[in-house]
Amino acid sequence: MNILPWHKNAFATLKQMIDQNHLPHALLITGMPQIGKFELMQQLVGTLINDDEIIRKDNIRQDLDMPVLIRRSNYLNMIYCRAGELNPTTKNRSKDIRVDQVRAFCEGLNKTADKLQIGVIYYADQMNVNAANSLLKTLEEPRENTLIILLAHNAKNLPVTVVSRCQSVHISPAYDQETQAWIKQNIEHEEDFEVMQLLEATHGVPFKVIDDLAGDSFIHYQHWQDQLLNIAIHPIMINKVEDFEGNEVAVLNCLQHLIIEGIRLKSLQHEGGLVELNQIINMTKTDFLFKLLHDIQQAIRLSKTSVNIKLLLDNVLIIWSHITHLKTYPKILN
């Protein structure tokens, strides 16, 4: 199976461990949500057992409608422990990994096996304190021919006692050309987007780019983009926008992407694929584009507080609607 471009460095580290026979008994794979920790784990296991297909058949991330403590892989010597399983007592889904799950996980790995035994916990930073403590003995005294793989969004949310017993491998955010090419191959209408902007908006997480543009998301994005461009060319259209209410942050992100692309084109003295955007940036001072970009970024940050985001968006749109003929840039945020 092909390695995802942004996994190459992390997988190279793992492959070196395998080739030098230095694979530890416990691995901690970290990275931002949706960076592909599960996929890297599958790549590693497929390499170790020399069978990609059997691991790809595991659909462990799907919720079950029955309570279980651990789950088994299609590879007979592999088990999974995860959050979100139904609690047999409350019949509710657990937001964390419970101590009874980790105990069952450890017991499952204590059985004698001729072939490599593998146990995967995801996401390990969702273990509660008791669960994490119950894992320590197995991490300290693993059986021969056993590999424990912990997947975690943030190692800081794990006890130091757990982290110190694992070899850590981190998947870094990606902005490189190879990753951009992968995204272009996996999205529709890639010519309508500046992929680097999409990566920057998702903090370098390619799978999140794909999710954000999937299904109706692209249709909404295109609709908002068209309306925003129309507002800057015909300011009176600011009173006829549709679907902005309730989607203020998404609209701000869309406008942010447009302005970043506008600044890039203006600095390179190039024309882009959006005729309206070319017209807008030709008539707008570069300094004003940067100032509006700063205000938009500040508005997006403030959206996480109790601020009136609708009012913030309205203020930003008023500036945007007059951006081509402003004499001075007004202050709209403190």
Whole-Å CA distances, 204 to 252, 264, 329 = 19, 19, 32
What pairs with residue 72 in β-bridges?
Answer: 79
Q: Using CB atoms within 10 A of its CB, is residue 297 exposed (0-12), middle (13-18) or buried (19+)?
A: middle
Q: What angle do CA 312, 316, 319 make, to 5 degrees?
A: 145
Predicted pLDDT of residue 103: 97
7, 40 contact by CB (below 8 A): yes
Number of other CB atoms surrounding residue 280 within 10 Å: 23
Confidence (pLDDT) at 142: 85
* Amino acid type, 81: C
| Rounded Cα–Cα distance for residues 41 and 45 (Å) | 6
Q: In sequence order, what DSSP letters do the residues of 246-314 get, joined into one string?
A: T-HHHHHHHHHHHHHHHHHHHHHT---S-HHHHHHHHTS-HHHHHHHHHHHHHHHHHTTTTS-HHHHHH
Phi first, then psi: what are they for 118, rounded to 5°? Answer: -130, 130
**What is the rounded CA–CA span in Å between residue 183 and residue 198?**
10
The predicted structure's pLDDT at residue 334: 56
Q: How far apart are CA 115 and CA 241, in angstroms?
A: 63
Distance (Å, whole) CA 98 – CA 166: 20
What is the pLDDT, as a whole number, of residue 1?
65
pTM of the complete model: 0.71
Tens-digit pLDDT profile for residues 262-283: 998 899 888 877 889 999 999 9
Q: For residue 37, give the nearest of 110, 113, 126, 116 by alpha carbon.
A: 126
Residue 207 DSSP class: H
> Residue ranges of the chain with pLDDT lower than 70?
1, 192, 201, 215, 218, 333-334
